[in-house]
Structure 1
């Protein structure tokens, strides 16, 4: 802690939970590399392939479950099992509350056509309970914490960093894993390896004793990352093995080394953590251990108020000052003071008159701390001689910090030189601060243009949000699209050259289908009441792990029928291809930019999402089908969109429901502003140009 650059592990954890966390190109890279190197080799210093470690990990986990079950059984005989249940659940909370979150940024617009990416996204979809709100593995764990009433700091998961009942050790593995998740460019193989290790382990061993004692509190299978979320689904651990094998086949020896490194590091971190949790739970069987913890944690603030009250001839303030490092002398003195009736908390002043409504310590202790004090008093022997020399079991949690590289070594980088370079950079999750600022300004300017003349535009949402929600308005728009389609049946269809040119110019947009929703792959957004609609939409755009339904791949197939074989989307050659016009990157860059700010621009994204999903349903997709048929090309791309975007049960309906849900949560005084922001997002799909719109964009830039 003497190093001024050291970050407490809770800080690293909370920072990595932020879906808009500032880019981490270098500041933590050296620290993460050092952590990975701690656990990447066996006792002989050689690497061990995950395929060989898998059975060993499963065997180790089984042994650990027996170990913890024995601890719980001993505590049960002593009447202390409830204490161990509570402490085990808290110890597992940082990891179990975010089970699978390290996969959250593995998919990005630039790799959405790759088989390995889709298999990883499928694993992640299972972890977040795709298709259902609040159905992630972490959400189920939150239910367990709420059942035990230990969830005061549990939601969002970043708030766990404030819970003083959770030791540093419990934050270490998830903090490092989540930090790596924000740098998939650097740690792709390591993330695959650590994910495989955690799925080989299955249910975290300390939770085995909890499950035995609370078998019906929750659906326990959801907390086991090796188990499928649906009865007919394949075990995720098998999928994780297949992902690792496919990645190694693709990336070669370097990929194998990365996977092995991540796997071995996670296994080493799990072993150390389980040993520390077991020591903590064993110590907690003695009520004095929790009392010593409580005194140590509260001594600093308590010492301020107790300069005049004496215990055993010394000011309580002195006792408490010393208790910050060693609470035992104070507890011994307290046990022999007039405040305590050993063996009888009901008759003790400390837990009676002092904390009553008229007492001087009213509401000083919350219920859980008062319970700790009562258990300690009730366990004290009546004979003072038996209390002499007492010390609780020794278990001192270690302070864990990471020492990142100096901020001065952080490469801010240059902003994109032009819109094509912006497209290349924004295809990836990891960007420099300069590119992030460029993206933020790009979004702000587009939205400023969209707000100009919004009241008089026929392409806007209603001036006020309908009281009964957007579903009726949605059906009206669908009818309008249908009328426009039938009214235009006699209009000439584009000729072959026009069709091919328009299809080519749409490629930078269509090959990143769903990019505006990329931010909703963040673990804690993907399963919220409205976020699950947006994640499900994103996953649908990419085919739900079925490459034959992957929209970018379907579009590439149509382009090949037209004689166009484009470079890979993520390659520099794609964005610099001479067949594209510069303006064809305007809306794609907007999508890529706004998708990075799912919290900052949530209402605008909701509006944009509705505009995008509704844009072709019932009209343009049907006309597009006629045009493709006329020239002998596949209609698969427009057909699949006209079905999955439908206004009854498809993406358009989901988009409307997400907006209605968002507005229902707003305070009456804020709902009008929120609706205006949604309307601006809706119009931003086809943002106006011209003098007034340009002036608005320039004002946003200043």
Structure 2
């Protein structure tokens, strides 16, 4: 038997401890916050989280450097404690303990860095501090490469351990019964905060710095000697691909935020201290479970608890000691120990001799009544338990001693579930009643942030549906340059043809006079509403799981390019503002109320940018349409209109840098246009070749509509189709009166 070695050399065994809690509060929060289109209400929910942060980090008052040192020291000490557990285990137990350790940290490890996913928004996309955060996040997700996020490296670790069955997508992990509910607490709250970036920016940066100071998760000290993995990716403090040290980069960001105001500094410190306290609690609970699992009886009890529910359905006729096996298994859901005592005395088990025990020979053989009921790992657990049973006749069937002091408290007492259980109720209740935008200018301003109430979400959804209805109006094979049908050769040949056509059109326009200076300036001003939110139709692909997916990795890379790869000098909105200043146009900050109200903008100029901002919030709902829009956008100026615009700007003495950059990075060979075509091909090649819902024909029609949505028809009938599509289905019966009432979009 394995257990605690005391000073007198006696080894005490550990009694059964419950594994996954019946309270699934944090699992539910984790699954909800993993949704890239999640709408997390503010108000009371944010106050509950703030109260929790303050409770766990009262009056820190310590310099950030000292906290970083404490986190690093704790990580080192904790890792040694986990390594000591491994030293107590035999070969089979060590393999099981390593797997349990990796699973126990999986909710955090698989989401490593996800808490930074929404900190950059259309309204902050030209601010140097937020560009630095985006650069840090881009490194975490392996920008531009599929499956290169830190979480993907952790997934590779689970796959080596054959423990990844429920690991993808993140929301699926919440149903993994082998992980204790306490393991979801910290990552669930971090993910929730990530969906309210305006409320928790400082706290998230403080939390991120703490996690980087900790580095490699201490429980993985068990696994590192056993497995080959991408440890530099799993270690949150390690630089990737020769980049800057992420801990130092995050420290600089935290210092910048802390230097803004005393309140800002306190929030950064609170985020750090709360995270460190939560990490300690989580590690302590996992350490207690791992130590307990060295006793084969613990693992056997856990296995019985996990399998009891389904097993109790089938064994009403089988009796053990005057009770049906079904009744025993029903009791196992609460406490398996009594049944293990009975099982150890039964004819199914030969204590100390698993090879001679019917439980793991005939019953589970290919002709046995329990064939394939237990996995190979389950059978290893059963054999270990049988072999550890005392074989001497008359000895107790299963030695059960007191638990190590504090073990149950570590597993069950952290955290105070009653205090945070209200979060699930608040999520289900949703946000307090509010209102949607009254016009396009207000919509533009409200959409500068990632968050918003249900009214804004509903308004955005209806606006997108209306715009797409307009794009689909009288859509014929000739009205969209894309092929009528997608073929397996993909879009690259078509892309080259379009590029050739743009070149011919540019040459043919050589004799056409350039527009006057006033028209060039006016066009630049009206287009500012688009260019200052460059890439916003792709903002949803900063979401952690989408940003490194097979389709989304190139969309994130495109978005990151538009914002200058984290460098203010390369940031497209900032470059465009330089051109405007050359034209004597100095606009207010993009996210300010003054910007949307600026009288130099015409109302109609808000139509398309508001569509970009709206559809960017629904990367899953409108995936085919976003891909089509992205392709149209990236291809639109390459080889033709960008060159024409460059000529006009140069003629009147303005910088051509903005259009010149786009003409190169959007190129059809290795640039954004090529990436856009590849993303479409990746989606289409994954679909069934059918005309039904979800088949290639249906999805391709949606891609073509998305392509056309960059420049949809503007006639009366097309706009009427848009208005009708925006009317909620339950109100359409009221007819034209309702249609007139919905013309709230400034004439759209």
Normalising by structure 2, we get a TM-score of: 0.89
Among residues 50, 54, 63, which one is paired with 2:64 in the alignment?
A: 50
**Residue 379 of structure 1 pairs with residue 397 of structure 2:** no
Q: Which residue of 2 aligns with 1:130?
A: 143
Q: Which residue of 2 aligns with 1:319?
A: 328
Q: Which residue of 1 aligns with 2:585?
A: 564
2:351 and 2:103 map into 1 onto residues whose CA distance is 29
**Residue 219 of structure 1 pairs with residue 230 of structure 2:** yes
Q: Which residue of 2 aligns with 1:24?
A: 41
Deviation per CA, 1:179-237: give whole Å up to 9, x if none: 000000110100000000000000000001201121xx22211101111111x311100
Q: Which residue of 2 aligns with 1:539?
A: 560
2:355 and 2:482 map into 1 onto residues whose CA distance is 64
Deviation per CA, 1:77-101: give whole Å up to 9, x if none: x652111111111011110101000
Q: Which residue of 1 aligns with 2:288?
A: 279
Are the equivalent residues in 1 in contact too, given 2:39–2:195 (CA < 8 A)?
A: no
Q: Which residue of 1 aligns with 2:484?
A: 463
Are the equivalent residues in 1 in contact too, given 2:39–2:452 (CA < 8 A)?
A: no
2:81 and 2:587 map into 1 onto residues whose CA distance is 57
Greater shift, 50-59 or 649-658, is seen at 50-59
Shift of 1:7: 6.3
Deviation per CA, 1:303-344: give whole Å up to 9, x if none: 333333222233323322332222111101101101112223
Matches within 5 A, 1:537-616: 537-616=558-637
**Residue 145 of structure 1 pairs with residue 170 of structure 2:** no
Q: Which residue of 1 aligns with 2:53?
A: 36
Alignment CA distance shift 1:602-1:384 (3 Å): farther
Shift of 1:26: 3.6
**Residue 414 of structure 1 pairs with residue 429 of structure 2:** no
Matches within 5 A, 1:662-701: 662-669=683-690, 670-701=695-726
Q: Which residue of 2 aligns with 1:653?
A: 674
**Residue 235 of structure 1 pairs with residue 235 of structure 2:** no
How many residues of Structure 1 are paired with residues of Structure 2 in the alignment? 689
Greater shift, 447-456 or 656-665, is seen at 447-456
Are the equivalent residues in 1 in contact too, given 2:524–2:580 (CA < 8 A)?
A: yes
Are the equivalent residues in 2 in contact too, given 1:39–1:267 (CA < 8 A)?
A: no
**Residue 175 of structure 1 pairs with residue 173 of structure 2:** no
Matches within 5 A, 1:115-514: 115-214=128-227, 217-230=228-241, 232-249=242-259, 251-388=260-397, 390-391=399-400, 394=403, 396=408, 397-398=411-412, 400=417, 402-404=421-423, 406=426, 410-514=431-535
Are the equivalent residues in 1 in contact too, given 2:203–2:271 (CA < 8 A)?
A: yes
Shift of 1:492: 1.0
1:372 and 1:74 map into 2 onto residues whose CA distance is 17
Shift of 1:373: 1.8
Are the equivalent residues in 2 in contact too, given 1:7–1:402 (CA < 8 A)?
A: no
1:115 and 1:229 map into 2 onto residues whose CA distance is 22
Deviation per CA, 1:4-39: give whole Å up to 9, x if none: xx9611000010100011232246324322321232
Alignment CA distance shift 1:393-1:487 (3 Å): farther
Q: Which residue of 1 aligns with 2:78?
A: 64
Q: Which residue of 1 aligns with 2:3?
A: none
* SS in structure 2 of the partner of residue 159 of structure 1: helix
1:386 and 1:661 map into 2 onto residues whose CA distance is 64
Alignment CA distance shift 1:309-1:79 (3 Å): closer
1:392 and 1:204 map into 2 onto residues whose CA distance is 31
Are the equivalent residues in 1 in contact too, given 2:471–2:705 (CA < 8 A)?
A: yes
Are the equivalent residues in 2 in contact too, given 1:26–1:409 (CA < 8 A)?
A: no
Shift of 1:247: 1.6
CA-based RMSD: 1.7
1:456 and 1:278 map into 2 onto residues whose CA distance is 63
Deviation per CA, 1:120-154: give whole Å up to 9, x if none: 10111011011211000111111111111011101
1:23 and 1:199 map into 2 onto residues whose CA distance is 26
Shift of 1:353: 2.2
Shift of 1:433: 0.3
Shift of 1:456: 4.4
1:494 and 1:538 map into 2 onto residues whose CA distance is 31
Deviation per CA, 1:655-700: give whole Å up to 9, x if none: 0001001101111120111111100000000011113312432342
Shift of 1:409: 7.8
Are the equivalent residues in 2 in contact too, given 1:341–1:348 (CA < 8 A)?
A: yes
2:181 and 2:296 map into 1 onto residues whose CA distance is 21
Alignment CA distance shift 1:18-1:408 (3 Å): closer
Alignment CA distance shift 1:454-1:261 (3 Å): same
2:56 and 2:129 map into 1 onto residues whose CA distance is 26
Alignment CA distance shift 1:7-1:441 (3 Å): farther
Deviation per CA, 1:397-455: give whole Å up to 9, x if none: 43846212656683131011001111111110011100000000011111111112221
Greater shift, 59-68 or 78-87, is seen at 78-87
2:161 and 2:310 map into 1 onto residues whose CA distance is 28
Are the equivalent residues in 1 in contact too, given 2:431–2:453 (CA < 8 A)?
A: no
1:408 and 1:181 map into 2 onto residues whose CA distance is 19
Are the equivalent residues in 2 in contact too, given 1:192–1:243 (CA < 8 A)?
A: yes
Alignment CA distance shift 1:73-1:408 (3 Å): closer
2:327 and 2:480 map into 1 onto residues whose CA distance is 72
Are the equivalent residues in 1 in contact too, given 2:60–2:273 (CA < 8 A)?
A: no
Are the equivalent residues in 2 in contact too, given 1:445–1:698 (CA < 8 A)?
A: yes
Gap regions ≥5 residues in structure 1: 1-5
Q: Which residue of 1 aligns with 2:742?
A: none
Shift of 1:389: 5.6
Deviation per CA, 1:584-643: give whole Å up to 9, x if none: 110100000000000000010000000000010001110111011001011110011001
Shift of 1:388: 4.2
Q: Which residue of 2 aligns with 1:3?
A: none
